Each structure stands twice: as structure tokens, then as C-alpha cells.
A = this chain, B = another copy of it.
Amino acid sequence: MIYLDNASTTHKKPFEVVKAVNLAITKLSSNPGRSGHDLSLKTAMKIANTRQNLCDYFNCERPEHVIFTSGCTESLNLAILGTAKAGGHVIASVFEHNSSLRPLFELEKNGIITLTIISPKYKEKITKEDIEPHIKANTYMIVSTHISNVDGSETDIENIGKLCFEKNILYLVDAAQSAGHRRIDMQKNHINFLAVAGHKGLYAIQGVGALLINGKTLPKPIKFGGTGTQSISVYQPDEAPECYESGTSATPNILSLNAGLNFVKTHEKEIEKKEKALTLYTINQLKKIDNIIIYTSEKNLNGVVAFNHKKYDSNEIADFLNSKNIYVRSGLQCAPLKHKFLGTEKTGIVRISFSYFNCKKDIDYLISALYEIK
């Protein structure tokens, strides 16, 4: 099996991650933040360590503003729905995934916000210049996909963050496809809300993500229930992180995120170097094959390569590759506006995506299969 669908979820998880999950199930199965016995406290401490680890890695201001969620989708929903401002205006881009678009369009449909979706001048990068002209007096938030899950194109979060800071606009960055692949500094980039997926570049198991919050604007909770705090009250308490994390914590998932993050920190340089090299190598090899259209630019060496075959639909190519035990993603990748922007909304695209565990041989195998297509 050649697994080239790591942008959907990284297939191979580091041994440390498997070990962390096993420890969580067999030795730490208790309710952290609820009961006061030693096992519950030990588990709570491990969860607190994970919070601190994420806080340090992304340079978030305060560990209590690292909110564990069920995944990046919930993180984005919390940031978008939790800060919704009646009569306000939000700017997002065609690069957005449906996990940002759908909560935003839900708010727009209900008449709560107005929404501007911008298209960038260059397909490789969304810049400050693409965004700035669309800012209105009532713009309260800008949403950016850091790295596109379709083709690896980028957003200049540094300069857009600066712009947001200057204009006093909230900045939400969807790092589903970048966290773990490259270092993100929330304070340097003036990011108010950073949404991360656990199970992709951070090598955790599925079922965990985080929303990291900087600045004074805290979202309202979107889920209500037991927090283990102020239990005498029938109203949701205000204190973070508990007010956002109603219900029993997903200890195995959270501890897998800690282990995954530690793996990333240990192999940080290697991961970046490897993914860049594999992306470039793939683009260069694809270029040699007839009838292949490549959508990923050589400027965007982000572990994702998007292409099509002129004679076939993306699903047909993916099915053919599947018959050779090569697993890729086809279709729209839940990013409809990006496909309209690329003109691929009818065919979809074939996406291959790497993790630390891929190697040059995987690409050679893929390329030789693609040569067979007539």
C-alpha cells in the first residue's frame, strides 16, 4: 500500500502516539477535572501538560486559552459562531474549506453577518493587497486558510495579521493543513484564533483538535454542560478553558496529540525538508508525463500536489491508482470555491499529500502507474 492521502489524515502514526493512547486507556481511564482522586488528578495533569505544550509550540499567550475540541471543524465553528457579531462583516477567501465556509454562510443566510469572499490576484498566494480593499467600517473578522488543502497554495498570514492588528480586526487562521508542517507563531503573526487539527500534520489520532486564542476577545461557548466548575449553577460558567470543554475530556485523543506534537518537535527540520523535497520531486516527475495538468506551484512546496489527467475525471484516476494500491484523494476536497477558482469544479482534482513517513520510492511508484494511463 502506498498511502498518499495524508492531508485527509496521516495514516501512519508514530509509535509514541500508539503508546500514549494505550497508556490513556489502560492506565489513565478516569474523569479529569471531575473527581478528586489520585487517578483523576494524574490524568488532569497530563491534559494540562498537553495544553502547555501546544501553548508553547504555537506561542499562544496563555495555556488556559488552548481549547481542546473534537477536531479542527469544531475549532472553526467555535471561533466563527462564538464571535458572531450581528450586523458585522467578515472577509474570507476562495481558499477556505467548507469547515469555515459553511458556518460563515450559515450566519450570512440567517441575516446575522455580511460576508465577502475574495479571490486572490495570484493563485499561489493570498496577500494583504487582496484583502485590504474589502475592509469596511463594520468588518470585525478576517478568516484565512493558511495552506490550501487542495493544492498547497498559501496565505501571507504575517502581513494580513499585521493588517488585522492595525485595523483592530480579529484574525482567524485555519491551520488544518499547516500545523505540524511548519512553525506558526501566534503572537508574531497577530493571530487571535488558531484552529488546528490533531490527526493531520500533528500525527494524533482522529477526534481531537484545538482552538488557541490570543487577545481580549473570547468567543461565547457553543456547547453547554458539565464543566466540573461552579457545578451549583445551571448557567454555563465563564472561565476558560472549562467553559468551552463541557463533557468528559477525550483523554486518549488529547494525550495522542501531546505525543504527536512531541514527535513533530523532535523531527521538525526533517519534516519540512522532506516534504519540500518530495513535493518538488513530484511536480518535476509529473511534468514529464503527457496529458497531466499540475495545479500546484513550485513556490508552494507544502506537501500537497494537485493534478489532473486531460482525458479522465479525477475520480477515474483515483480509482485506477487505487487498483494499484496507491491511495490518493480525488473530487472537491470540501473546498468548492477553490475549485471554482481553479476551474475544476466539474472534474475535481487528484490530490496527493505526504507525511514524514513517505519516501521517494512512493512517488516513483505513483509516477510509473501514471505512465500506464493511455
Contacts and interface: CB of A to CB of B under 8 A. Distances in A.
Interface of A: 1, 3, 5, 8-13, 17-18, 21-22, 24-26, 29-31, 34-40, 70-74, 76-77, 97-103, 105-106, 109, 197, 199, 205-208, 222-228, 231-236, 246-253, 315, 318-319, 321-322, 325, 327-337, 339, 345
A76 B105 CA distance: 25
B102 A37 contact: no
Contacts of A247: 70-74, 99
Contact of A235 (B13, B17, B106): B106
A97 B31 CA distance: 16
A71 B248 contact: yes
A322 B12 contact: no
A25 B17 contact: yes
21 contacts: A5-B40, A8-B40, A13-B26, A18-B22, A22-B22, A34-B329, A36-B322, A36-B330, A70-B74, A73-B246, A77-B223, A98-B231, A102-B226, A102-B234, A102-B235, A102-B236, A199-B248, A206-B251, A206-B252, A231-B336, A232-B336
Per assembly, the copies of the chain total 2
A232 B101 contact: no
B5 A29 contact: no
Q: Which of A5, A34, A247, A252 has the most CB of B within 10 A?
A: A247
A18 B23 CA distance: 10
Given A1-B39, A9-B29, A208-B250, 8 more contacts: A9-B31, A25-B205, A38-B325, A98-B231, A102-B225, A102-B236, A222-B222, A227-B334
Contacts of A318: 35-37
A35 B327 contact: yes
Nearest to A97: B226
